Amino acid sequence: MKRKELLEFMKNKIDPHYYEGLEIWTDKRKKHHIFFDREFDVAPIFMNGFCVSTGDLFDFVHVYPEYKKR
């Protein structure tokens, strides 16, 4: 998915702290080539979080929903 779609998808699903970090991380990686925008992959992980990847081997970030104390 494109950067804009990714940020819209994640808007209410993750903690605002992680969302700001995701915006910065994707902004630095948004251009893949001169004419093409980079695609981002999203996969669910343990504890209701998400792994966002660019498709490169070690280029990913984990984001999580807001932590609620019991």
Give residue-wise pLDDT tens across range 18-65: 999 999 999 998 776 677 788 999 999 987 899 999 988 899 999 999
Q: What contacts 46, CB < 8 A, 6 or more positions away?
A: none
> pTM higher than 0.85 for the full model?
no
pLDDT value for 56: 87
pLDDT value for 69: 59
Residue 40, both tokens:
């981002």
pLDDT value for 10: 95
| CA 26 to chain centroid | 7
Q: 25 to each of 2, 10, 68, 69, 70, how far by Cα in Å?
A: 13, 14, 25, 28, 31
Dist. CA 62–CA 39, nearest whole Å: 16
